[in-house]
Amino acid sequence: MSVPIRTIASANGLEATRLAYQMILNGSDVLPAVVEGVTLVEDDPDDMTVGYGGLPNEDGIVELDAAVMHGPTHRAGGIAGLRNVRHAAKLAQLVMEQTKHHLLVGEGANAFARAQGFPEEDLLTDKTRKIWLYWRQTSSDRDDWLPPPYEQLDPAVIEFFKLTKDHGPETVYQRSEVADRPTGTIHCSGIDAQGNLSCVTTTSGLAFKIPGRVGDSPLIGAGLYVDNEVGSCGSTGRGEENIRNCSSHLGVELMRQGISPKEAGLEVLRRLVKQVRERWLLGADGKPNFGLKLYLINREGDFAGASIWGPSKFAVTDDQGTRFEPCAYLFEKPTKT
Ligand code: ASP
């Protein structure tokens, strides 16, 4: 059986898919290829959702989560709560290859990184520090922090929080009540000509999270899952919802029943949305107030992106080139008036 070589990723992974595809074409196993691809994004200071330059936790410290899964051997490795080391995906691959464990967390993850010779550095950039500081200054009117006047704010902060000139303590406290908690991550998966699948998910997690919070990205079955005889599924978006619905495992299990990647992804999201009852997760219209996307490939190389909210896109590279494709979605994003 020969299938088309293909790599797919979240929308921030266009270059990751391009590099991974090229490596697979040149004979690489799929796993190191997709890991090399996401490493580009971990190194990118402008991507505030992953690796170096990722948004920090509520104390202003960047904590990374990542995992890999290798289809041919069904082995996996993960890292959670990693500080001061940018290449979380490569470290997760080493957990898979050079330990008998699947998940190392916190100080243990850092000790493993030191043992493997990974350099340590501050992952916070000046831009993410300023964004975090503004978030901290405006998260509550019941502490002693105050934001600076509009004129003293960095343009990156203004753009990030979409601030207008009427910004001041009163308006910011109203704003922060409803402020979006930015999410982001990169998931990348691939298939080679023999139909072998592998994938990786790496992230700085939910911005301004409680220190020690672990999301779905390093958890097999939640943020990613592969069964080499069936397919691969991975996710970006609000991780708590993937954890309690085992989304990626479910996506693969639905494909096992012969359901297409697109329909499998949409069905996972429908079930997940049905379970959301918490006030803080629902908008006034009763729909989820968070985003979540799945990226799926089956053993034949058919693929899809599925999102709660659309229109949105994901990245693909195959013999047709490197491009964005639209995600299937459940709800249309309300247009801002
Ligand atoms: N899934 C990630 C997490 O919950 C965040 C994201 O993808 O936006 O940690």
Q: How far apart are the first and last CA of the chain?
A: 52
Task: State if residue 237 touches ligand 1 by the CB under 6 angstroms criterion.
Answer: yes
Q: How far apart are CA 118 and CA 165, in angstroms?
A: 44
pTM score of the predicted model = 0.95
Q: Among 64, 201, 236, name the best residue to mutate to test ligand 1's pocket (greatest count of ligand atoms within 8 A of Cβ).
A: 236
Q: How far apart are CA 285 and CA 49, in angstroms?
A: 28
Is the CB of 216 inside a 6 Å radius of any atom of ligand 1? Answer: yes
Quote the pLDDT of residue 82.
98
Geometric angle at alpha carbon 218, from 214 and 221, rounded to 5°: 110
In 60-118, which ranges are continuous DSSP H helix?
88-98, 106-115
Alpha-carbon span 273 to 288, nearest angstrom? 7
> Ligand 1: which atom is nearest the Cα of residue 182?
8
Token digits for 41? Answer: 């994004």
pLDDT less than 70: residues of the chain: 168-183, 336-337
Question: Which of 10, 63, 216 is the best mutation target for the ligand 1 pocket, counting ligand atoms within 8 Å of the beta carbon and taking the most?
Answer: 216
Q: Distance from the CA of 237 to the center of ligand 1, in angstroms?
A: 5
Atom of ligand 1 nearest to the CA of 209: 9
Distance CA 79, CA 38 (A): 15
pLDDT tens digit string along 141-164? 899 999 999 999 999 999 998 888
**DSSP per-residue codes, 91-106:** HHHHHHHH-S-SEEEH
Q: Give SS3 for 13.
A: helix
Check pocket membership of 218 for ligand 1, CB cut-off 6 A. no
Over the stretch 245-258, which tens digit does the pLDDT of each residue have? Answer: 999 999 999 999 99
Instruction: Using the atom order of ligand 1, give the atom closest to the CA of residue 240.
Output: 4
In short, whether 205's Cβ falls inside 6 Å of ligand 1 is yes
Distance CA 150, CA 9 (A): 37
* Closest Cα to atom 5 of ligand 1: 205
3-state secondary structure of 284: coil
Ligand 1 center to residue 33 CA distance, Å? 22
CB 76 within 8 A of CB 69: yes
Look at residue 228 in the predicted model and tell me its pLDDT: 98
Residue 239, ligand 1, Cβ within 6 A: yes
- What is the DSSP annotation of 19-32? HHHHHHHTT--HHH
Atom nearest to 185 CA in ligand 1: 7
Identify the pLDDT of residue 175.
52
Distance 197 CA to ligand 1 centre (A): 22
Closest CA to 276 of 261, 254, 295, 291: 291
Q: Domains (ranges, CATH) in the chain?
A: 6-121+180-332 (3.60.20.30)
> In angstroms, what is the span from residue 217 Cα to ligand 1's centroid?
7
Question: What is the distance between the alpha carbons of residues 87 and 84, in angstroms, rounded to a whole number?
Answer: 10
For ligand 1, is residue 234 a contact (CB within 6 Å)?
A: no
Whether the CB of 217 sits within 6 Å of ligand 1 = yes
pLDDT of residue 178: 40
Residue whose CB lies within 8 A of the most ligand 1 atoms, among 217, 242, 314, for a mutation test: 217
The residues facing 193 across adjacent strands are none
Instruction: Give the model's pLDDT for residue 162.
Output: 87
Nearest CA to ligand 1 atom 9: 205
Q: Which residues contact 288 (CB under 8 A, 6 or more apart)?
A: 241, 273, 276, 281, 282, 308
Asked if residues 278 and 253 have their Cβ atoms less than 8 Å apart, the reply is: no
Determine contact, residues 64/203, Cβ cutoff 8 Å.
yes
Enzyme catalytic residues: 185
Cα of 2 to ligand 1 centre, how many Å? 34
> What is the spatial distance between Cα 136 and Cα 243, in angstroms, rounded to a whole number?
27
Residue of minimum CA distance from atom 4 in ligand 1: 239
The C-alpha atoms of residue 222 and residue 199 are separated, in whole angstroms, by 13
Strands (E), the chain: 6-10, 63-70, 75-83, 103-105, 186-191, 197-203, 224-227, 231-237, 292-298, 303-310, 313-318, 321-326, 328-332
